[in-house]
């Protein structure tokens, strides 16, 4: 690790006191040295191109950048860790391990230089050191932070409690074809649709054909397969296809996402219904996002149409082969467990073998003989 700092104090002071735009630092041996100072112009976003001219596409560098615009009241520093993907592994590790110490000593205010808190950017391609790269960074910073696994679990619990409490109907941001948010199962937005637990469903619009097909499936004992697809343009769920034949991998599309609702022939109840969600690699990005975010609401709508509390059997995968293989393995395991359980109840009781009797000591045998 580079343990010493050998930045030019004059160069760093100029960056603080004047309108100079950036300072580029390089690790040389065991020290961090000043490589270049960029004067810049009034347009700080355009000056990224000037900085990029002093960088190599395969060489890591530190960049201390003044992102203050002409209307800013003072400097606004950004610490950029530029570590290209194509750089050597040792160089990547060296710059990454030394970055925190450099930022703390020079930019964190610990040395009394008055810079204070700064933004940190990690860039891995030379093309990112540009106006477009900066705008992409700002857009990313504006996004809502992703939830941790614990936060996601907590949100799921709260949503389930809200659904089970039977509270007032919730509004959805999804609009109907007429521009209004409607409610109800038959052809309406899932918002406010009643569930078996007495709550409500939030999701996208269900076509009347999809709702009717699901209700018919619930009343049938012959088994059937219903493929549900989302019309991304109108944000509506429709029936893609329906069949009474045995479910196979040919029922799953290879280039688009879909929801497949399957009820095995001779199923004892609607709790045996299975919902598959498949999203092949060839699926378009927007379509992938729409299907993924609505999988839960579709499951809830299926459960409501079948008059069950929830769909207990759900599978996700990239192809029909994946989800069917997992489903068939689970069904096979369940049958074996049931057979084992029923067999253990009928198995006759086996007579216990006599216990082993330890031989008596020779002295005891002679005494008993006398």
Q: Please give the domain boundaries of the chain with CATH numbers for all domains.
A: 4-142 (3.40.20.10), 167-343 (3.40.20.10)
User: Cα separation of 218 and 212, whole Å?
Assistant: 10
Nearest to 2 by CA among 88, 84, 91: 91
Q: Give pLDDT, residue 188.
A: 40
User: Cα separation of 259 and 276, whole Å?
Assistant: 6
Residue 205, number of CB atoms within 10 A of its CB? 24
CA dihedral 179, 182, 186, 189 (to 10 degrees): 80
Q: Give pLDDT, residue 199.
A: 44
Which residues fall within 8 angstroms of residue 179, CB to CB, at 6 or more apart? Answer: none
- Tell me how far CA of residue 154 lies from CA of 110, 147, 149, 159, 160, in angstroms: 39, 10, 9, 9, 10
Q: Give pLDDT, residue 171.
A: 39
Q: pLDDT digit of tens for each residue in the chain (370 aa)?
A: 444 555 555 556 656 655 678 888 888 877 777 788 888 787 888 888 888 999 999 999 988 888 776 566 556 788 899 999 898 988 888 888 778 777 776 655 434 454 555 678 889 999 999 888 888 888 887 776 666 667 677 777 777 766 665 443 343 343 333 344 433 333 444 444 444 444 445 567 888 888 888 888 888 877 789 999 998 878 889 988 888 878 888 889 888 999 999 988 877 788 889 999 999 988 888 888 889 888 888 988 898 888 888 888 899 999 888 889 898 888 888 888 888 776 655 555 555 555 555 666 666 555 555 5
Please report which helix (H) or strand (E) contains residue 98, including its range: helix 89-102
User: Cα separation of 6 and 336, whole Å?
Assistant: 71
Burial 115-128, CB ≥16 within 10 A → b, else e:
beebeebebeebeb
pTM for the model stands at 0.43
- HSE of 236, CA atoms in CB hemisphere, 13 A: 21
Q: Give pLDDT, residue 259.
A: 94
Please report which helix (H) or strand (E) contains residue 340, including its range: helix 320-346
Nearest to 225 by CA among 249, 256, 254: 249
């Amino acid at each position: 690790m580079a343990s010493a700092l050998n930045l030019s104090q004059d160069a760093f002071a100029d960056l603080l006191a004047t309108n100079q735009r950036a300072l580029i630092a390089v690790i040389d041996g065991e020290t961090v040295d000043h490589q270049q100072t960029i004067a810049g112009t009034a347009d700080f976003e355009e000056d990224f191109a000037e900085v990029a001219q002093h960088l190599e596409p395969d060489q890591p560098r530190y960049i201390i950048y003044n992102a203050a615009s002409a209307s800013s009241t003072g400097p606004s520093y950004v610490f950029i860790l530029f570590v290209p993907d194509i750089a050597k592994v040792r160089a990547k590790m060296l710059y990454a391990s030394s970055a925190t110490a450099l930022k703390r000593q020079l930019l964190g205010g610990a040395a009394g230089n008055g810079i204070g808190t700064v933004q940190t950017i990690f860039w891995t391609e030379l093309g990112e050191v540009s106006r477009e790269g900066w705008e992409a960074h700002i857009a990313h910073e504006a996004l809502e932070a992703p939830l941790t696994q614990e936060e996601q679990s907590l949100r799921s619990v709260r949503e389930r409690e809200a659904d089970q409490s039977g509270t007032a109907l919730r509004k959805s941001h999804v609009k109907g074809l007429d521009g209004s948010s409607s409610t109800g199962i038959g052809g309406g937005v899932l918002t406010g649709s009643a569930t078996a637990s007495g709550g409500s469903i939030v999701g996208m619009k269900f076509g009347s054909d999809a709702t009717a097909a699901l209700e018919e499936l619930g009343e049938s004992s012959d088994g059937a397969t219903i493929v549900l697809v989302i019309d991304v343009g109108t944000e509506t769920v429709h029936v893609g296809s329906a069949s009474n034949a045995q479910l196979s991998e040919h029922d799953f599309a290879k280039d688009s996402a879909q929801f497949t609702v399957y009820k095995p022939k001779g199923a004892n109840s609607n709790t045996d219904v299975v919902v598959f969600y498949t999203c092949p690699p060839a699926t378009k990005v927007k379509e992938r996002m729409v299907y993924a975010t609505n999988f839960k609401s579709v499951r809830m709508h299926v459960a409501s149409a079948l008059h069950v509390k929830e769909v207990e059997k759900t599978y996700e995968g990239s192809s029909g082969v994946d989800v069917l293989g997992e489903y068939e393995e689970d069904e096979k395991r369940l049958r074996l467990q049931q057979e084992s359980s029923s067999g253990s109840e009928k198995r006759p009781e086996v007579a216990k073998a006599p216990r082993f009797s330890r031989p008596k000591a020779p002295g005891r045998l002679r005494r008993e003989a006398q």
